Amino acid sequence: MNTIGSAALGSWNIDVPVLALLVITALIYLRGWLRGQRFVRDEQDGSRLAAFLSGLAVLFIALDSPLDAFDTLYLSAHMTQHLLLMMVAPPLLLIGRPMLPLLRGLPKWFVKEGLGPFLAWPALRRVLSFLVFPPFAWLVYVASTILWHLPKFYELVLQSPFWHGAQHACFFWTAILFWWPVIQPAPGRAAWPRWTMIPYLLFADVANTALSAFFVFSGDVLYPNYETLQGHVAAARDQAFAGVIMWVPGSIAYLVPAIVMALSIFNSGRLARRRLIKPARVRSRLKLPLPMLRRVAQTVMLGAAVVVMADGFFGTQVAPLNKAGVWPWIYWRGLSVLALLAVGNLFCMACPFTLARDVARKIVPPRFRWPQRLRNKWTAVALLALYLWTYEAFSLWNSPWLTAWVIAGYFGTALLVDGFFRGASFCKYVCPIGQFHFISSLVSPGEIGVRKKEVCQTCRTYDCIRGNAHARGCELYLFQPKKTGNLDCTFCLDCVKACPHDNVAYLPVIPASTLVSDPYRSSLGRLSKRNDLAALVLVMVFGAFVNAAGMVGPVSMWEHGWQARLGLHTLPWIVAGLVFGGVIAAPALAVMLCGGLNRLIGLMAETVRRFILALAPIGFAMWCAHLVYHLSTPFGVPVWMTDLQILVLDSGLLLTLYVCWRVAQQNATKLRRELAIVAPWAALSCVLYGVGIWILLQPMQMRGMS
């Protein structure tokens, strides 16, 4: 193979966001298609699925294949790319009749609550109908094809990546409008009779032929950019070839559907589609041996903890070269937040500390109950604040030896607490990592819950909390029928194993939905009555910003500036001022201000606590943005990391605003009062968002990199 040929084949330009979007679209379509198959089976469904997926594949080829890499060098490559974007991908996507599968593939609540009002909005329907009205669609399609090929505009495209993107978007969009009336992918009556689509396509072909002929037969090179690069003769040849590509395959793309349509009109009686209604197929539920998987995960984590401790105590003390400097601070934290975001509290599920405890308990069973006075989160709040301070003040990330001691101390404390006290007292009342995961899992997309409430109503053994011969009951005293949300749930799956009715399982939930209501929760009571939980959320939320701020240049310079003034050994105290000011004084002040404004209009303290809980999503988003950055450092921080971090923070802000609005709605009947109630908390969320953005845009100290 010659050089150009092999270079062309190797010139794939994989654009991660485009690829991700195409894959997500394909997955949603596939999910919707599979759901549709359960109810109605159409004999054409398989071909529609194939068409839609092929359309996405063609889009991928147009945007990420060598065609894209070569479009600035060869007009013919660029023309092929346009052909795929206009004449191949859009019809294939529309043949897939994507509306129903995509709607079915999305979560039902989102379709009903989010899209429903828009789908039923008459004004919007009128606008969309006008856009796909055949004369309009034909005109914008042909006009965009001709206008973008005018030398002035085309040269602009070659000089500016922004206009290049705009051109591609314009081609794709107008092509969707053009092919819409031809394929008629939406249910409902066509705007024009079927036969009118034949002249519609033929006239489009005439315009295409005229433009192609101009490329082929024009003596001049139309685009100087190509002439500069290739020389006059080669550029003219390339231009003629581009014209042929536009002419021949382009014409085929218009004429074939016109012919098929004509034939189908003539044979309409014979070709009438038959719909076969088949009974729904019952899907067998995939049952994973989850409790066994938990033991495996715990054993792996225990092994990892032992390796980290050994390397931390006896290995090199250069953090990036030591497992104690890399595994816990870079991989474990990043993967934990990703797991929280994608599934739920997987870290607690695989917790190595509880495995050691379980083994020890088989030898010496615990005798005492956790003291009544300590049955709250205050100990964990203090420990979480202490952890945030020690992390900054003693640079835990940079000291494998200290890291090993922290892990050893964790094992020791877990064994000590749970060696004396029954239940999972350490997890429930002491462990700061567990509390962080409990709060963060409020925004997770799943929880352990009951499948059918009716089954629990007939249950008289309550094995999920009492346990039985096969499995112990919930050690955190969460009674499944009264459990709401992920708070205090360690995902230990004891209840799943214990339930004799197979009625407890991992179930998908809407992220943060448990914050919207305030029911009585097993072992927790009403969250709105818990000061300790509100304090925990505040430390976790404000701690996210303080912890991330510690790694940016300006804050670090500020700390060292004060250290230079006050003395070398004062850094831990300066950091203490920053951390405790950030996680105690600042939230206290913010809550006093926002809560005070709420109290002025007659709200109760319970409602204020609910607003505090509503801040959890933005706090988690900040942790996520920060820790995912660290996770990426060993692989090279991608150029789109800041974009991703801002998007994560955007999502956190929107979720917090939504929960705040729902809480306000439950405390007011009129819009004006709702707004008055929510305003201080929305303002606080926006301030936190602004601080987060400022932190993300600062130069990072590349600490903890391996």
Partner 1 sequence: MRRFLYLLAIACCLGAHGGVLLLHERAGAYLISLFSADAPLRAGSQDFTVLVQTAADGNIVSDCRVELSFRRANTAQVRIDAQVGQSANKLLYAAPAQLGAGVWQFTISVQPSGGAFAEAHGTVTILPEQPPIAAYWPYFAVPPIAVLLFTLNRWLKRRSKSTSRKIFMG
Cβ closer to partner 1: 4 or 210? 4
Nearest to 181 by CA among 135, 144, 123: 135
Q: Does 577 bind partner 1 (CB under 8 A)?
A: no
3-state helix, strand, coil in the chain (%, to 5): 75, 0, 25
* Residue from 30, 34, 57, 99 binding partner 1 (CB under 8 A): 99
Where does this chain touch partner 1 (CB under 8 A) — which range of 65-73, 142-150, 246-254, 331-339? 65-73
Nearest to 491 by CA among 509, 503, 475, 514: 475
Q: Does 490 bind partner 1 (CB under 8 A)?
A: no
Beta bridge partners of 525: 521
Q: To the nearest whole angstrom, how small is the minimum distance from the Cβ of residue 142 to partner 1? A: 19
Residues 104-133 that bind partner 1 (CB under 8 A): 106, 111, 113-115, 117-121, 124-125, 128
* Residue from 445, 650, 676, 683 binding partner 1 (CB under 8 A): 650
* Residue from 61, 87, 142, 158 binding partner 1 (CB under 8 A): 158
450, amino acid identity:
V
Q: Does 553 bind partner 1 (CB under 8 A)?
A: no
End-to-end C-alpha distance for the chain, whole angstroms? 41
Q: Does 168 bind partner 1 (CB under 8 A)?
A: yes
Q: To the nearest whole angstrom, how small is the minimum distance from the Cβ of residue 589 to partner 1? A: 24
Q: Which residue has the tokens 């939320």?
A: 541
Cβ closer to partner 1: 127 or 292? 127
Measuring CA to CA, how many Å separate 657 from each of 72, 108, 534, 675? 45, 22, 17, 12
Cβ closer to partner 1: 120 or 277? 120
Coil, strand or helix at 641: helix
Beta bridge partners of 421: 368
Cβ proximity of 545 and 692 under 8 Å: yes
Q: To the nearest whole angstrom, how small is the minimum distance from the Cβ of residue 115 to partner 1? A: 6
Contacts of 372 (CB under 8 A, 6+ apart): none
699, amino acid identity:
P
Neighbours of 338 (CB within 10 A): 15
Cβ proximity of 452 and 512 under 8 Å: no
Residues 408-447 that bind partner 1 (CB under 8 A): none
* Residue from 146, 244, 509, 646 binding partner 1 (CB under 8 A): 646
Q: To the nearest whole angstrom, how small is the minimum distance from the Cβ of residue 169 to partner 1? A: 4
Considering CB under 8 A, how many residues would be counted as binding partner 1?
75
Residues 23-42 that bind partner 1 (CB under 8 A): 25
Q: To the nearest whole angstrom, how small is the minimum distance from the Cβ of residue 520 to partner 1? A: 29
Q: Give the contact letters, 67-86, x = binds to partner 1 (CB under 8 A), - = no.
A: -xxxxxx-----------x-
H and E: helices and strands count for the chain: 36, 2
* Residue from 30, 191, 234, 576 binding partner 1 (CB under 8 A): 234
What is d(CA 69, CA 4) in angstroms, rounded to the nearest whole number? Answer: 13
In b/e form, how buried is each residue of 136-151, taking b as 16+ CB within 10 angstroms? ebbebbbebbeebbee
Q: Which residue has the tokens 């003629």?
A: 240
What is d(CA 681, CA 664) in angstroms, rounded to the nearest whole number? Answer: 10
Give me the phi and psi of 47, to 5 degrees please.
-70, -30
Residues 496-515 that bind partner 1 (CB under 8 A): none
Structure tokens at 434: 């567990």
Q: Does 564 bind partner 1 (CB under 8 A)?
A: no
Q: How many residues does the chain have?
A: 706
Q: Which stretch of DSSP H or E encloses residue 8? A: helix 3-10
Where does this chain touch partner 1 (CB under 8 A) — which range of 39-47, 62-70, 340-348, 579-587? 62-70
Cβ closer to partner 1: 166 or 265? 166
* Residue from 201, 653, 660, 691 binding partner 1 (CB under 8 A): 653
Neighbours of 225 (CB within 10 A): 18
Q: To the nearest whole angstrom, how small is the minimum distance from the Cβ of residue 664 to partner 1? A: 13
* Residue from 57, 66, 209, 244 binding partner 1 (CB under 8 A): 66
Where does this chain touch partner 1 (CB under 8 A) — which range of 95-103, 188-196, 244-252, 582-590? 95-103
* Residue from 624, 657, 677, 700 binding partner 1 (CB under 8 A): 657
Q: To the nearest whole angstrom, how small is the minimum distance from the Cβ of residue 79 to partner 1? A: 14
Q: What is the DSSP letter of 367?
A: -
Residues 262-321 that bind partner 1 (CB under 8 A): none
* Residue from 654, 668, 676, 705 binding partner 1 (CB under 8 A): 654
Q: To the nearest whole angstrom, how small is the minimum distance from the Cβ of residue 146 to partner 1? A: 20
* Residue from 210, 255, 318, 647 binding partner 1 (CB under 8 A): 647
What is d(CA 652, CA 655) in angstroms, rounded to the nearest whole number? Answer: 5
Q: Does 399 bind partner 1 (CB under 8 A)?
A: no
Q: What is the DSSP letter of 522?
A: T
* Residue from 18, 262, 335, 683 binding partner 1 (CB under 8 A): 18
What is d(CA 456, CA 356) in angstroms, rounded to the nearest whole number? Answer: 33
Q: Does 365 bind partner 1 (CB under 8 A)?
A: no
Where does this chain touch partner 1 (CB under 8 A) — which range of 66-74, 426-434, 462-470, 486-494? 66-74
In b/e form, how buried is each residue of 232-251, taking b as 16+ CB within 10 angstroms? eeebbebbbbbbbbbbeebb
Q: To the nearest whole angstrom, how small is the minimum distance from the Cβ of residue 428 to partner 1? A: 36
Cβ closer to partner 1: 229 or 564? 229
Q: To the nearest whole angstrom, how small is the minimum distance from the Cβ of residue 72 to partner 1? A: 4
Cβ closer to partner 1: 126 or 526? 126
Q: Does 230 bind partner 1 (CB under 8 A)?
A: yes
Dihedral angle over CA of 161, 236, 224, 159, nearest 10: 0
Q: What is the DSSP string of 546-596?
A: HHHHTTBHHHHHHHHHHHHHH-GGGHHHHHHHHHHIIIIIHHHHHHHHHHH
Q: To the nearest whole angstrom, how small is the minimum distance from the Cβ of residue 444 to partner 1? A: 21
Where does this chain touch partner 1 (CB under 8 A) — which range of 140-148, 162-170, 319-327, 532-540? 162-170
Q: To the nearest whole angstrom, how small is the minimum distance from the Cβ of residue 283 to partner 1? A: 25
Q: To the nearest whole angstrom, how small is the minimum distance from the Cβ of residue 147 to partner 1? A: 17
Nearest to 96 by CA among 58, 129, 145, 141: 58
Cβ closer to partner 1: 25 or 607? 25
Residues 180-219 that bind partner 1 (CB under 8 A): 185
What is d(CA 397, CA 391) in angstroms, rounded to the nearest whole number? Answer: 7
Q: To the nearest whole angstrom, how small is the minimum distance from the Cβ of residue 121 to partner 1? A: 5
Cβ proximity of 397 and 704 under 8 Å: yes
Q: Does 10 bind partner 1 (CB under 8 A)?
A: yes
Q: Does 164 bind partner 1 (CB under 8 A)?
A: yes
Residues 682-701 that bind partner 1 (CB under 8 A): 689, 693, 697
